[in-house]
Structure 1
């Protein structure tokens, strides 16, 4: 398919073949996990948030026992292998926004991400540009996504790691009172669940949101 493969790809092939040879998992189990990971999207997480907006008891469950709440929207973190994987079967926490605190997630070290419920991470989430700058200049980076927060709102940057995964539960936007769960799901985009956007009536998962180029704060003047 390509003329060259990277050192990381060579390592993945060697490790995968060794694991199959040693009986840690079978080639069929590997295929099932790969297909499962590729078809996941952020819809389950969006439905979890929508249910929490409509049901205070479910919101309490989601914040206290997120793995249990995940099962109620069709996500079992042990599926499909029955035992999970080192990169996915971890401590999972849902971060609830408040009127004075806005949460945003990053993995400053690499690109840890709650794939079972959010799907594969976007390319920009994995870039050094996002990972290194968000922890230093969060408002600057959020502005590049078009998100400008009031000065009285504290930005809480949550750094994922090998053992912990996070997603954001944003506040329900004004103008959506009385909406059904399905209607709410449509406006809870992947970026809202990462924390680089806020849900808005009329802005759905199908809308492309413009971003502006990154500018180093030292060169902003």
Structure 2
């Protein structure tokens, strides 16, 4: 049976739809005036969404893999442990780290809105905010992971964590085999944003870019 931790409170300060509408209107106006190129905006957003933003979280994961004391601190008080690396801020003040193991795989979702740890993962991906993901991740997490290309053994338990306005989660993926001699910088290169949400696993050393 796949677990679902559901202690969700809607964030009354969440005005993403209104903010997105304003941004879109501004982008349209600036485009019409010839001041910006929409394609350039898309590239910038993609960079922050998939490359720059998640580097903070990847450093947290790499340190947890390399430093057992930090890993234990992360389990006890993720907020403080992450803050010690300088990663705090919007929607990242209250964190919990959940560790993947050979027996259990963790998956993060926000069923009511789109609570997300911006300070460690950067911009949330579009699919994270989509109703289809938010509902199906709870109902059929194994099927959702398969659609992301991650097929887990039937015997591996999947635990779904529902982010809230008060608490956000960070998945610590399992450390890949063959990485014993790698430093934290090289280890961080194996950690993707999706692995820290739970829709992927950490890359093997030979897959690192």
**For the superposition of Structure 1 and Structure 2, which TM-score range results when normalised by the shorter chain?**
0.7 to 0.9
1:8 aligns with 2:18: yes
Deviation at 1:90, TM superposition (A): 4.5
Point out the structure with max Rg over C-alpha.
1
1-structure distance, mates of 2:119, 2:142 = 28
Deviation at 1:9, TM superposition (A): 4.3
Once superposed, which parts of structure 1, at least 4 consecutive aligned residues long, lie more than 4 Å away? Answer: 9-13
Select the structure with the greater relative contact order (CA < 8 A; seq sep ≥ 6): 2
Note if contact 1:44-1:74 (Cα within 8 Å) is conserved in structure 2. Answer: no
1:124 aligns with 2:127: yes
Deviation at 1:161, TM superposition (A): 1.4
Sort the Cα spacing of 1:132 and 1:57 in 2 relative to 1 into closer, same or farther, 3 A: same
Q: Deviations over 1:24-74 (max 9, x none)?
A: xxxxxxxxxxxxxx7960111111111111110010011112122112322
Instruction: Compute the RMSD of aligned alpha carbons.
Output: 2.3
1:170 aligns with 2:173: yes
1:181 aligns with 2:189: no
Q: Which runs of 5+ in 2 are unaligned?
A: 1-15, 24-47
Q: Deviations over 1:129-180 (max 9, x none)?
A: 1111110010100001110111111000101112110010011011212111
1-structure distance, mates of 2:150, 2:61 = 20
Deviation at 1:8, TM superposition (A): 2.1
Q: Which runs of 5+ in 1 are unaligned?
A: 1-5, 14-37, 78-84, 207-221
Deviation at 1:76, TM superposition (A): 2.8
Note if contact 2:92-2:117 (Cα within 8 Å) is conserved in structure 1. Answer: no
Further displaced range: 142-151 or 174-183: 174-183
TM-score by length of 1: 0.69
1:203 pairs with 180, 202, 207, which one? 207
1-structure distance, mates of 2:17, 2:55 = 34
1:46 pairs with 51, 58, 61, which one? 58
Note if contact 1:95-1:166 (Cα within 8 Å) is conserved in structure 2. Answer: yes
Sort the Cα spacing of 1:111 and 1:198 in 2 relative to 1 into closer, same or farther, 3 A: same
TM-score by length of 2: 0.73
